Every structure is written in structure tokens, then in C-alpha cells.
Structure 1
Amino acid sequence: MSDRKKRKLSPEPHVAYSDIQSILARLKPKLSSKKPDWDALRTDLVHLSVLAESISRHRPRAKKDQQWIQRADDLDSQGVTLWNASVVQKDVPDDAYRTVCAANVGETTLAAGVLGSAAKYVDLLRVADDPENGYEQARARAIILYYSSRMEVAFREGNSGVAEFMLEKVSAENDQYILLLTSSDRRTLAGKLLGIGKGMLRRNTQGEHTENGTGDTVKWIQKAFSIIEPLEDTVDAGDSQLRRSILRTLARAYFLSSGQDPENLARAEASLQELIESVDSSMDHTSPEYQQLRWMRVAILKRRKAPHTALLEAFRSIIDHMQFSESTITEHDDHARAMQDLTSALNVLEVKEYELPKISTTACLTLLWQFGDRHYHAKRWTDAADWFLAGTNSTFGSMSHISNAKCLRKAALCYVQCGEHAQASAIVRRCPPTDAATHYVALLIAAHQGLEDEAVAAVHEMVHASNFNKKMLLLATRLANDSGMKTLLLSVLEALLEASIREGVDADAEAITLVRCIIRLVLRMMSEPGALPAVFIPMLLRHFSTALSLVTALEAKRNSAVGTKDVSWLWRTAYNTAVQGCAEWENQEDSISDLFDVARQLLQIYARCPAVDTEAELQMFLMNASFAGAAGRVFASRRRASNNVPEEPDRWESVAQEIASCKECIRQIVAGSNALGEEETQRAYSFLSILAVFGVEVACRLKTWKCIPDIIEKIDRVQNVELGSLEAIADVLAILHASLDRAALSIEKFSRWLRAICTILLSRSSPADRIKAIGYVEQAVGVVQDHSAEGDPQVPIFLRAPPRSELITLAWQKYPMDERHWLLATAYNTGIECLHASMLDDAKRWFEAATTICRFVPDGESRAAKISKTYAYLLERYTR
């Protein structure tokens, strides 16, 4: 077989053309598929490339072969279609796709063939006829595309010499073709040159230096800028973005190459200045990318040792375009370094005694507070406190009268959160004491430390300070409630009540709600173990009086805000508390009476409410409250008199008036109510009888004797009057009258009355009667002492005349001796009975009375010694 037969023959042109058409028919649907079979596509494309090369070899020499021209145009159109398809598919992530579209992924033979074919195609383009210059722009585009592609391939293969040779072909030999390129083609070419320049710059910065270093880089980027520069006046956003990217890279290349060529430093500054001016006029001039340009300008200025004004202007541009955010200006990872830098800067200003103006100070303080707040919300308490305290530096003195207290309070709150209460207290003490917010922070600190007294003091200071807001008390209420500090909660509620009362009518309903809460809290505190009623009783009375005043004022204004439920709760609580006080509060008769009076007045208001039915139960509560109040006044007055407490002026007159008012109230209820039953009516008459006794007693105290017959006459007219009431009146008249005014009875009659009364009382054998009897006996002993000498039955005494007479008469009387012996025997025997009953205090009083009487009877000394001996023996026996 001949050599020609041994070689693989190329197909004939018409056969190759038909094969190409069939391959194209298969390729187009595959390329439009969502999931192409890249391996099959690659096989078809390689086959297509071989066929296309064979056709180009059989190109006829005749230039007017119409069949060839028609087929060439058709194949050219098909090639453009494939090119566009490759552009659409360029972002496919499939690795198999890369072997279809790339020339340097291992298919070096195929790549060399493509480039060889392209070289022949360029040669043909150069000599192709175009008499009318209709294809001039297309020819220029194809030729530039060829050389730029060769340039890219060579650079990627590391062949810098070939890449630079192709750059010369593009820029020098074929510059007439560049002038014919469209804007899009210019951008594409500039982008290729910029890409190579960036690649070379990257190699140089990573240590892969070439012989010329960054100087070669500058050449590539300068050429890219010359390509894009004619498009400066266009409005295409892509041109502007590419231009900025080239200028940015060029400035960096100038900066890096300034060591070889110092003049490049000025060129770098000029490039950056031009770039920054264009950036400042754009919409996204604050982006981090452009901020890097401004920082690069600072680096350039520092390297060329620019004057201070230039550096200051560069820094001002950075600050003006800075977005103050976590990512741009804070370092939470190195807080210590940040605070060190800030402190150093502030120290420099302090040394220079420089004070920022108000606007600049406000901006700086706002920034510091933002940093502090960010740390605070991230629960980095101590770091936040550092930022807040930085705001108190003297540099910010122009706003210190406003800002310092705020900074200190914020820092104190930070230390409270992390438990550094001593530090927080020390900081808040630096604040001026005139602001309510300062005292609120002090309250917070004290509450967290459990210092209730200090917290209460802070509340009092807060409500009287400037800029006080009632919302502070609402927050303090929650704080006190959460901490379980009842005294603090009481203080806060009282302050809230006071503020509500100051606000006037609009807050009356709120005030009533608050006073209810306060009363409930006080009662709860009184019920706790160890609570001292004497501390809380005045407080309780004060708030009940406040409630009564509020309710009375609202009723007078016919304000619908006063609710029957509030009044009902108030009178019932006051009444029940007073009843409880009768059993538990010692020596608080006046306070109990005050509570009963408040309950009575509130009950009267409640009864006048339209929706309330005045049933018998309410009437009985009204009588009970009125009677208990009057009775308490009498008991309190008795106790004060027995304890020799100096009497208040007109006290007994006030008691007499209250007794009279109480009797009138009960009489009106009995006369005007049809709802009272037999039992309730009988109780009312019982109250009237007892009040009559009280009236006689008070009249005796006041020596208003003319009132007594009137009282007796009125009680005599009362139905079902109790005999005990008349007996009590008789006792009062016989004892009190005789004791206070001896001119009414003789000593002998006095002794007989006293003996009869004591005999009756002792026969009842009740503790109350026995105590009453010893009181009478002690009065008798006093009379014996006042009107007798020891052992002498005849002594002078002075009788006081009636009040209307100022004469003092002298008479001789004696206390009957048999009555003295009866007093001695009764006191001695009753004392022994008390010892047997283990009533030691009562026994002591009886034996003391017996011992005193011994001084006024025959053989008194021996009797006194016997009594003393017996008392000591029995006392020792019963106290073992």
C-alpha cells in the first residue's frame, strides 16, 4: 500500500460541511438542556474542530467562489452561536464543563491546534479585501481578541516573555485597531490587562519577585488605564467601576514600587486623590472598600513624610465617611488595648489643657455611650463601665454639668449588675445630690445590698429632688416588692400616695387605691413575729385618716370615682382592726377609739351611697363603733389619772362631749330604724345605760354636779334600764364624790359605805371585783393616813368647803376604830387568799395595805411584824 493510502485522508469539503451540519444539529439541543452530557458534548466539539480545520485547508484559491463564501458565512454564524452558548454556560459548576470550554486544563495539543488555527485566521484577516471598509471594526475586534487571548494564555502558563510580546502587539503594532473597538470591547480588553496586572502584583507581594519587580506590574495597569480612559465621560456604571478598580490597583502598584522609583509615591497619591474624588460623589462612598482607599492615602502620606495639615485632612476624610458600628470601630477582643489608646489620647489633651467645644463633646460622648451600651447589653459590665467613666474626662468639660452625672450613673449601674456594690456606691457618691435620678441609682444599690434603711432614705431624697418623675417610684415599687423589703415598699407607696394627692382630683381614685395597699401592707407587717404595735399604730391611724379625708372630699364633690367597694373595705378594715386592737394592744385606748371613730365616719358615708341598703346589721356596727370609741376615751382617761399623768387641758370636757354625741347617735338609730330586732334594741339600751354611768363619772371628775340629776332622770326614762347601771352610779357618787369632796360625807359615813361596797365586791370572788375592792381599800388607807396620827384616835383634819366657798373650816373627826380593825383583817385575809391562788401581785397590794393600817391600831408594831413574817414565809413557800 502506498504512503498516501497509509495516511488518514481528510474528508472532502462537501462531506466535511455536511458532517458539520449534522454535528451542529446534535449540539444545539444538548447545549440548551438543563443537565447537558458534557462528555458527549466534548466528543462532538472535538470532532467539529477537526472538520472545521479540514475545510479551512481545502479553501479554494479563487476569491470569487460563491459556494465557498456562502458556506464560510454559514459556518461563521454557527460559530458565533456556539460562542454565545459557551458564555451562557460559563458559570456551570460541573468540572466536566471546564474541559469543554478551557484550553489549558491538560488539553495542550488541542489548545495548540486552536491557537494555530487562530493565527492563520488572523493572517487571513489582515490580507482580506474590504474595499468599502465594511468589516473594519469586526476585523479589529477579532485581531485584538486573538492577541489578548494569546497574552492571557501565556501569562497563565508562566511565560511572561510571550505575554509581554503579545502586549506589544496589542498596544504598539495594532494601536489603530484599538481605536476601532466599541466601549464593551475596550472594557473587556482593559479587564484582561487589569487581571494580569493584579496577578503580577499578587506574585510580587507573595515573594515571587521578577527581575523588574513591581515595575512590570505598573506597566500592565498603566496600559489598562489608557484603554479605559477615553470612556471617562460615559455614563455607563460598568465603566466607572472598572476605572476605579484600575486606579485602586495602580495606586497600590505605585506605592509598592516606590522603593525602586521614589517618584511613584507622588503618582500613587495622585491616583488615589483622583479615585477618592470620584468615590466621594458616589452613593456608596462610605463602603468599607472605599474606606481602605482613604487609609491607603494616609499610609502614602506617612511614607513621604507629608506635613501635618495633609495628614489631618486625610484623617478627617476617614472620620467623615466612617459608619460607627461594631465592625468598624470596636475591638471587643482587646478591650484593654482600646481603653489604653483612649486614655492615651485623652491624657494628651489633658496635658495641653484642651477642652473640646460643645458640639464635638456631644458627638464624642454619644459615641462613648454607644460603646458602653453595646458592652452593657452584651453583659460585659466592667468593660461598659470603663467606657462610661471615660466620658467624665476633663476634655469634655464644656458639657460636664450635664454629662458627668449621667456617665457616673451609667457606670454605677454597670457595677451593680456585676455585684461590685462598693464600687457602685463610691461612683454614685461623686454625682451631685440634686438630681432625682442619682438618688434612684443609690436606692437601687442599697436595695441590692439589702440596706433597707439606706434605701428608704434614698426614696425620701428622690421625691424631693429636681427632675423627679413618678415613674421612678413605680420602678422602685417593683424593686422593693421583688427584694421583699416591706419597709422600703411602704416608704415607696407612701411617696406615691403623696405624689397622687398633690396631683389633685384627677388622681383621687388612684390615691384611694394606694392608701388601701398601704393599710394592707401595714397590717401585714404588724402581724409578723416581733413587730412592735406602738411603731405601726400611729402609721395605721395616719393612713386611715388620709383615706377618710379622700373619701369625704370625693363625696362632697359628688364624684363618681369613689366606689362603694373601696369605702366598704375601708370601714370594715378599720372596724376589725380596732376590735383586734382591743384584745392585743396594751395601753392604746385612745388609738383604738380613733380607729372606731374612723370606722364610724366611713360607715356613715357608706350608708349614704345610693346602692347600699341600710339594714340592721349596718346599724348595729354603727352603734358598736360609736360606743366603743366613747368607752375607749373613758378608759384612757382613767388610766392616765391612775398613773398620775399630767392631764391635757379640756380632756375631760372632750370626753363628756363624745359621750353625749354617742348617746345621741344611738338614740337616733333606735328612734329612726324599723329594722332593729329585739336583741339589737336591748343592746342599744344597754349601751345607753353604760354611757350614763360614764357621764356621771366624768361629771364627778369635772365637778359639774348639776349634770348628774339630769343624767339620772334620763336613764330612769330608758326602757329596761339595768339595775347594775344604777348601782354603778351609786358607787361613783359614794366613792368618787366622797373622795374628791370630803364636805359631802363625814368620815364615819365614808367608812361605812366603803365597808359595805368592799364586802359586796369580795363576796363575788371574781378577779375584777377583787381588784376593784383593793382600790377602794387603798383609798380608805389614804383617808386614814391623811386624817389620823399614828396610834392617836383624835387628829385634826381640814375639810374643804364647797367650790363656791373659799373658807377652810377646822373640825375634829376620827376614822372609827372598828372600821380600822375591819380594814386590817380584810386586807390580811384577802392577801393570804391571793397567795394561795398564786396571785402574787395582788397579794402584795393587800399585805402592804394591812401593814400600813397597823400603824393606826393598838399594838400595831407587833401586828405588822407578824404580818411581815407570815407574808415572807408564804411568799417563799409559793415561789419555790
Structure 2
Amino acid sequence: MLGSVNADWSAARKHLLRLASLAEGISKHRPRAKKDDQWAQRADDLDSEGVMLWNASAAQKDVADDAHRAVCAAMRLAGFRLVEAGMENKPGIESVGDAALAAGVLSSAAKNGHAQARARAIVLYYSSRMEAAFREGNDGVADFMLEKISDQCAGNGARDAVKWIQRAFSIVEPLEDVPDTGDSQLRRSILRTLARAYFLSSSQDPENLARAEAALQELIDSVDSSVDHTSPEYQQLRWMRVAILKRRKAPRAALLEAFRSIIDHMQYSENTITDALVTAIHLHCLEQAFSSKNSASLVYLDRLLLSLIYHCSKDADHRQAMQDITAVLDLLELKEYELPRIPTTACLTLLWQFGDRHYHAKRWADAADWFLVGTHGVFGSMSHISNAKCLRKAALCYVQCGEHSQASAAIRRCPPTDAATHYVALLIAAHQGLEDEAVAAVHAMVHATNFNKKMLLLATRLANDSNMKTLLLSVLEALLDASIQEGVEAEAEAITLVRCIIRLIIRMMSEPWAHIAEFVPMLVRHFHTAVSLVTALATTNNSAVGMKDVSWLWRTAYNTAVQGCSEWENQEDGISDLFDTAKELLKMYMRSPAVDSEAELQKFLITASFAGTAGRIFSLRRRISNHAAIPENELQMAIEDITTCRSSIRDLLVGANELEEDDLKCAQSFLSILSVFGVEIACRLKMWPRIIEIIEDTNRIRNMELGTFEAMTDILAILHASLDRAVLSIEKFSRWLRAICTILLSRSAPADRTRAIGYVEQAVGVLQEHHAESDPHVAPYLTSSGMSHSLTLTWQRYPSDERQWLLATAYNTGIECLHASLLDEAKRWFEAATAICRFVPDGESRSDKISRTYTQLLERYSR
């Protein structure tokens, strides 16, 4: 019925109260038992039914429903009345309290379910059963009932239980002088229960702790003089005294005396040695064992040590437990006792077990202490194996509780040969945010013994959770190296890792703090690795290489290079390598039967080919402008690179019938620029026949723009004429410059005018560099045949008609720019005209006229 969801609690309670009333009537009108009647059997049945109801009510005591609890209380009342009715004699309830009061408490508990009344009813029940059992001579049952009463002494009910047990003790106290009989045993049992009740109630009443010690001391004094004073039951009393002394924080001398009492009444055997659990006992036993002339006692040292470790783990005072264990271990070390390997292993296993228990309970500092005990010198027979493990476990505990300095100190004590040690060092550094130290730990870990790739997988998650991109990059690179070393089986995995690494590097390069110059070579290196992996898999006809991977790789390389063109300064070589990588990967992608060689892919291939070569030429130009020494073989490689690129693009154009008109024009412009690049490098190498070949080859290209030849003229007339005067005279230089500027100014485009003023300013520079004070129309001319040769001085005249042309062109173009409101551009032209006046007849007056005209016009157009 109690387990039913829809039970009628009100009806059940009513029936139970009726049953209790009937049982109480039987108790009052119980017939006198005869030898031949059946009352004894009926009494047993009543007792059994009562106990059953009482136990059933106890099983339901934690139910939260008030109606249900009221039924349970009624069950207890009915159970008690049935047990009372089944007793042969009416129980002396007056011996434990007033009968009317007890009956009232039981009724109140049954009807209202009050906790205090219910507790009193329970104690009354057990007390009645104890008294009845005692009167019947059943000491075992009486002792059991005393234990049940003491169980009810926990919490707030402990103080109430003390009163009941004090009343019980007052009944048997006159039996103090009785010899060792059953009555004396009952007195000891009640006194022991009273001491326990005092102990449990001491949290509410601190004075009860002293009362508990006094009661237990009185009890122990009585049992020490008994015949069976060494029985396990009495040993438990002595252990109880130790517990009370610990609770009372008694002096060490009092504890030692209590322990000695245990030893004095102990029978030595394997079991009793294991029961010697406290430091004082162990120290005493160990000292006795070492001082004994019989070496057989040393056999039990490992048992003593194991017992000490086990029972110190039960000590609530962790610091005291550690001190106790250390004291015993120091004693063994002082005695120069070498603990064999098997006992050492047993002790270490126990220490690790207790350390793990504290660790999982999040008592990390305590766990670290347990692990560090394992590094004591006593365990030296296994130190080469166990010390590093103990230290690593302790370091992990310190990491959990934030004691990073202690964790670092612990891990530094480990030999640097094991990969697990470096993994813990990595963990410590990561939790401290020390990314450089974490990266160093990764590098050391992969080269240490017992390295397992799974460590890197764990480190990957750690780096990702810590948001340490540099650490994550190092871990992924280590994983990549490990995969490559595994051979062909792991090459597909390696390609996936390369993709992850490249994606991570690109993301790191987008950070504001990123140092592009460090990342570009790293990115190029991993793209080269990707090319090698894809090539290897394609060579072995491995189907594991996916076209999606190759497509992602070439597109990422191409897009990254394009982005670098606008965002990366002075990284032309790296950008060129990325374009070359994109070209190689795209070629492999286009060779796949599953890929159509569409026009768009051909356009990307042409662009990547040109951009790679152009980037290297730009890098070469930058170094030349910085006056860097360029080896001749590097220039040779550059011109060969240009030739190869021109041939590749021309071959692609032959087979690219699907290219649109704009794409064809773009490709032809690439060829034009490459031709200009070729002339530029050939001039620097003084390969004059090669220049003619390039010009003739360029002339054979259909639809070649005139601008290509103009650019070649620019190079010959300006760049190389100014660098090598022995090749081109100043007079020829002036004629070529006039022709070029005339062509540019005739177009009247802003870009063309900008180029023209640049050439005029170069002419002014030549005039300024090579004029003579004695003759402003004559300039000294410097020539050299090489850096190691001496310079020779010649004299040449800048033609006067070219000077006049320069002056007139600069002045007139400046006037035109003012009329067009191009003030900044007009300023450059007038400044050039004023500078040229120094090198023409009557230049000073002309300069004044130009200045006045410029000022007047400027005022007019700036209004």
C-alpha cells in the first residue's frame, strides 16, 4: 500500500491507530502465560508483526509528503504497541521516563509527525527493547539496542539521547563493584554508549568532549583489569579514546600514551601490524624493530609503512598526515634501510591512488603533496622510473590550482629525456600564457624518447583553447613532419595538415601586429611542401589526392599573392614564389581528366606566369635603386627567366582559342612588358646583340602596341645613357629625349605629361651635373669601364638648340597647365623652365620674366 501512488493515506492512518489501540488493550489485559497454552506463540507473532511495522515505517521515513509521514508515524506507534503486547511482562517504561509522557510523545508523533517527538518515540522504543532484553538475560540484544540508541544521537537529537542514556546508566551504576558478570558487561556497554553520545553531541555542547574522555577513561580502566583485556572489542575502546583526543587537540604526549596503551595490549601478527595506524605507533614499532637483535622483525617494515600510508590518508589534518609520513620515511633513510623494489612499488601505488583521489576531489594541493612523497630517497630502488612520474603528477596538480611557479619547479626536477615531461612543461607554459616557452616545449617533445603523435593532438586542442596561434602553428608543423616521416600512407593526411597550416598563417598575417617579413617565407615554404606532396601522390597514382585539395591550394596561393601585391612592402620575391606555386599547382590541376581546361583557368595560368617573373624583376630594380651589388649570374638568370616566361605565354596563347578579346589584349601586354624587361636587363649586361633580338622578336608579335617600343627607347635614351656615357653621347641623349617628349606631349594625356616632365627634369639634372663655371655651355663628362677601373674625363657640349627647346617647351607647357587650372603640374614645368635659364644666353632676364609671368597668371587663376 505504501508504494501505491493513489493510496488513501487518511484511511490507512485511521486503521493503524485502531490497531495500536487494540494492541494497547492486549497489553493492559494480557492473560498470564501457562505452560500448555498458546500465548507464547501469540506473543511471538505480535512481536514479529510489531517489528515488521516498525521497520516498514523506517524505510519510508524520508518521504516529503506530510500525509505519508503521518501514516509512517502511525505505523511506528502500532508497531511499538504490538511489540509491547507481545512481551511476557509489561515493560518497565517508568525506568526510562514517565509512562504517560512517553505515551503522549508516541501519540503526538503518530498524529502530527513532529521531528522531536518522533525522535523521542524512537529512543523510547529502543530503550524499552533494551530493558526487556536485559531482564530476559539476552545481553546481545540489549547491546544491539544500545547501539541503535547511539545511532540516534547524531545531529540535534544527540543531546536528548545523552539524557536517556544517563538515566539508563544511573540504573546500573550500583553494580560497579559486582564481579565480572553479565551485569558488569551491561554497565560497560551503557558506559561505552554514553561516551559515544557525549562525543557525538560535543559539536553542540563542547563540554561533552571532556565528559566523553572521562567516561571512556573510566571504562578503559575497568577493562584493563579484566581477564580478556586484549580482546578486539576493548581495543576498539582504546581507538575511540584516540579519536576523542584528536578531536580535543590533546597534547602529543597524551596521544602517545593512548597509542602505547594500544601497543601494550596488541598481539603481534600480520593483521595486528596492519592495524597499527598512527605515526607514534609506527615510529615506536620501527625503532623497536631496528634496535632488536633479531632481524626477523624487519620483515614487517613494509607492512608498517603501508599501514602508515593508508591510515594517514584518513587523517582530516592533511599537514599532520604529511609530517607523519615524512617522519617515518626520514627514520628509514636515517637507518640507511633500503626498501626493496616490490614493497617500493606497493607504496608508490598506494601514494598515487591517494593522490588521484584528492585530484578528482579537486583538492589539488593535497594531491601534489601525496605525489611528491613518492620522490623520497627511501624509494630509491625505483627512482629512475617513478620520480619523473611523481613529479609530473605533482606539476599537473599545481597547474590545476594555479601554482604555476611550483609546477615549473617540479617539472624542472624531471630528466629532460621523456616526451611526457615536455608535454607537461608545454601545459604549464600554456596556462601561464608563455607562448615562446610553450613552442620550445613542443620542439623538445617531438625529439624526446617515448614521443607519441597523440601528444601533439592534445597539444593542438590546448593551443586552440588558449588562442595561441603561434603555438598552434608549431604543433601543426610538428604533426606535419611526423606525418611526412610515416611515408606514403600519411601523405593524404599531410596535405590536410598543410592546408590547415596555410590557412592559419594567412589568418595570422591579417592581424595588426603581424610582421609580414617573417610570415612570407614561412608561407612559401609550406606551399612548396604542398607541391611536393601533391606531386608525390600524383606520381604514385594515389587516388587519395583530391582535386578539391589541389584546387584550394592553387587558388589560395594565387589570391594570397594578389593580395600581397597591394599590401606587402618589399616582398616581391615572396610574391613571385607564390605566383610560381600557383602556376605549378594549376598545371597539375588542369592535367586531371576530371577538369576541363576552360578559358578562365588558362587566363589565370598566363597571369601567374607573368606575375612571377615581373615580381623578380621589380625586386631586382629595388636592389639596384638601393645601390646593391648585383652579381652578373643573377642578371643572367633574370634574362633567362624573362625568355622562358615569354615562350610559355606565347605557347598558351597559341592553344587558347577560347580567350576573350580583353584577355588576349592583356596577355599581349604581358609580352610587351616582358620585352621591355628583357631590353632593360640586356642593357645592364651590355648584351647589345640580345637587345636587337628582343626588338626583332617583339616586332613579329601581332598587334604589338607602339608603347612597347617607346618604353624600349626610354630605357636606351635615359636609363642606360645616364649610366654609361661611353655608349651614348650627350648630344644623342638630348635628341632622343626631345623625340620622346614630343611624342608624349602630343598625346596631351595627364600620364603622358607626367612622364614628359620627368624626362625634362632628368635633362636639367644632366645640365647641372656637367656644366663648367668658365663655360656654362660645356659640361664635364664622366665615363667608366667598370668599378675596378679608373675614371676618365671628357668634355662634351649639350646642344644649344636642345637647351632652347627645353626652355620653350617647359614654359609653354606650364602656361597650358595654368589655363587648365592644373596648378601643381604647372608649378613643376615653370620650375624646370627657371632652372634651364641658367644654361642659356641671357638666362637671368629670362628667369625674371618667367617668374613674373608665373606669378601674374597664378594670381589670376587662383582668385
Q: TM-score range by the shorter chain?
A: 0.5 to 0.7
- Which one of 513, 516, 529 corresponds to residue 533 of structure 1? 516
CA contact (8 A) 2:725 2:782 kept: no
1:557 aligns with 2:522: no
Contact 1:291 1:322 in 2 (8 A): no
Q: In the alignment, which residue of structure 1 is the partner of 2:585?
A: 602
- Give 1:856 deviation, angstroms: 5.9
The whole-number CA distance in structure 1 between the counterparts of 2:20 and 2:451 is 79
Secondary structure of the corresponding residue to residue 442 of structure 1? helix
Report Cα offsets for 1:529-581 as digits up to 9, x if no partner: 34332232222222222212211221122211211111111111111111112
Match of 1:92 among 45, 49, 52: 52
* Aligned pairs (5 A) from 1:630-779: 630-736=613-719, 738-739=721-722, 742=725, 744-761=727-744, 769=752, 772-773=755-756, 776-777=759-760
The reply to whether residue 612 of structure 1 matches residue 595 of structure 2 is yes
1:410-459, CA deviations, whole angstroms, 9 ceiling, x for partnerless residues? 22222222222233233333333333323322322222222223322332
* Contact 2:408-2:425 within 8 A present in 1 as well: yes
CA contact (8 A) 1:795 1:813 kept: yes
| Compared CA separation, residues 366 and 868, structure 1 to 2 (3 A) | farther
Change in 2 beyond 3 A, CA 1:196/1:409: closer
- Matched with 1:414 is 397
Matches within 5 A, 1:58-137: 91-93=51-53, 94-106=79-91
Matches within 5 A, 1:814-833: 814-820=797-803
Partners of 1:218 and 1:155 in 2: how far apart?
12
The change in CA–CA distance for 1:800 and 1:432 in structure 2 (over 3 A counts) is: closer
- CA distance in 2: counterparts of 1:871 and 1:364, whole angstroms: 102
Partner SS, residue 542 of structure 2 = coil
- Against the structure 1 CA distance between its residues 374 and 197, is the aligned structure 2 distance closer, same or farther, given a 3 Å change threshold? closer
Aligned-partner Cα distance in 2 for 1:607–1:317: 75
Q: Kindly tell me: are residues 269 and 494 of structure 1, through their superposed partners in 2, closer, same or farther at Cα, counting changes over 3 Å?
A: closer
Gapped regions of structure 1 (runs ≥ 5): 1-33, 57-74, 109-152, 164-191, 222-252, 273-289, 875-880
Residue 180 of structure 2: which of 195, 205, 215 is its match? 215
* CA contact 1:255–1:264 (8 Å) conserved in 2: no
Separation in structure 2 between the aligned mates of residue 297 and residue 409 of structure 1, nearest angstrom: 32
One-letter amino acid of the counterpart of residue 616, structure 1: A
Distance 1:382 1:215 in 2: 52
Q: Are 1:483 and 2:466 an aligned pair?
A: yes
1:343 pairs, out of 310, 326, 338, with: 326
Alignment partners' CA distance in 2, 1:845 and 1:364: 96
Q: Mean alpha-carbon deviation: is it higher for 768-777 or for 373-382?
A: 768-777
CA distance 1:575–1:213, change in 2 (3 Å): farther
- For 1:748, the aligned partner's letter is E
Identical columns (%): 57
Deviation of 1:846 after TM superposition, in Å, equals: 9.9
Contact 1:738–1:745, Cα closer than 8 Å, also in 2:
yes
Determine which of 469, 477, 483 is the counterpart of 1:500. 483
Q: Given the superposition, is the C-alpha separation of residues 500 and 36 from structure 1 closer, same or farther in structure 2, using an over 3 Å criterion?
A: same
SS of match in other structure, 1:333: coil
Q: Which AA in structure 2 matches 1:666?
A: I
Cα displacement string for residues 707-765 of structure 1 (whole angstroms, at most 9, x for unaligned residues): 23333333333222222223223333444454455455443222111123234446667
Structure 1 residue 408 displacement after superposition: 2.3
TM-score, with length taken from structure 1: 0.65
Query: 2:108 maps to what in 1?
Result: none
Instruction: State the alpha-carbon separation in 2 of the partners of residues 492 and 368 from structure 1.
Output: 34
Partner of 2:432: 449
Aligned equivalents of 1:357, 1:554: Cα separation in 2: 56
CA drift of 1:209 comes to 7.0
Counterpart Cα distance in 2 of 1:728 and 1:353: 94
Q: In the alignment, what sits opposite 2:551?
A: 568
CA distance in 2, matches of 1:154, 1:493: 75
Which residue is equivalent to 1:522? 505
Distance 1:518 1:825, change over 3 A: farther
Distance 1:703 1:635 in 2: 20
In the other structure, the counterpart of 2:442 is 459
The equivalent residue for 1:180 is none
Aligned equivalent of 1:368: 351
What's the counterpart of residue 29 of structure 1?
Answer: none
Partner in structure 2 of residue 624 of structure 1 = 607
| Local SS of the residue matching 2:507 | helix
| Contact map agreement 2:538 2:545 (CA 8 A) in 1 | yes
Give CA-to-partner distance per residue, 1:146-190, whole Å, 9 cap, x none: xxxxxxx99969789xx7xxxxxxxxxxxxxxxxxxxxxxxxxxx
Q: 1:205 to 1:563 in 2, by over 3 A?
A: farther
Counterpart in the other structure of 2:361: 378
The structure with the largest alpha-carbon Rg is: 1
Distance 2:479 2:823 in 1: 54
SS of 1:650's partner is helix
- 1:387 maps to 370
Give the CA deviation at 1:640. 2.0
Q: What CA distance in whole angstroms lies between the structure 1 residues aligned with 2:640 and 2:566?
A: 26
Per the TM alignment, residue 616 of structure 1 is displaced from its structure 2 partner at its CA by 0.7
Judging changes above 3 Å, is the alpha-carbon distance between structure 1 residues 749 and 297 closer, same or farther for their aligned structure 2 residues? closer
Q: Which residue of 1 aligns with 2:341?
A: 358
Output the CA distance in 2 between the equivalents of 1:401 and 1:846: 88
Distance 2:342 2:89 in 1: 62
Alpha carbons of structure 1 residues 812 and 85: separation in structure 2 relative to 1, 3 Å: closer
Q: Does 1:404 align with 2:379?
A: no
Query: Aligned partners of 2:28 and 2:323: how far apart in 1?
Result: 68
- Matched residues in 2 for 1:416 and 1:554: separation? 44
How far apart are the structure 2 equivalents of 1:317 and 1:351? 16
Whether the aligned pair in 2 keeps the contact of 1:200 and 1:217 (CA below 8 Å) is no
Structure 2 unpaired stretches of 5+: 1-15, 54-78, 94-128, 148-164, 187-217, 236-268, 858-863
Counterpart CA distance in 1 for 2:483 and 2:308 is 47
Residues 204, 213 of structure 1: 8 Å contact kept? no
Q: Work out whether residues 791 and 855 of structure 1, in 8 Å CA contact, stay in contact via their aligned partners in 2.
A: no
Contact (CA 8 Å) 1:381, 1:418: kept in 2 or not?
A: yes
Counterparts in 2 of 1:547 and 1:334: CA distance versus 1, 3 Å = same
Provide the alpha-carbon RMSD of the alignment: 5.3
2:572 aligns with: 589
Residue number in structure 1 paired with 2:773 = 790
Distance in 2 between residues matched to 1:456 and 1:410, nearest whole Å: 22
- Preserved CA contact (<8 Å) 2:617 2:638: yes
> Could you tell me how far apart the structure 2 residues matched to 1:577 and 1:732 are?
32
The answer to whether the aligner puts 1:513 opposite 2:513 as a matched pair is no
Q: 1:542 to 1:868 in 2, by over 3 A?
A: farther
Hey, what's the Cα distance between the residues in 2 that align with 1:766 and 1:461? 64
User: TM-score w.r.t. structure 2 length?
Assistant: 0.67
Q: Deviations over 1:599-656 (max 9, x none)?
A: 1111101111221111111111111111111222222222222221211442222222
Post-superposition CA distance 1:836-880 (Å, at most 9, x none): 97979x989996x889878766688999999999999x9xxxxxx
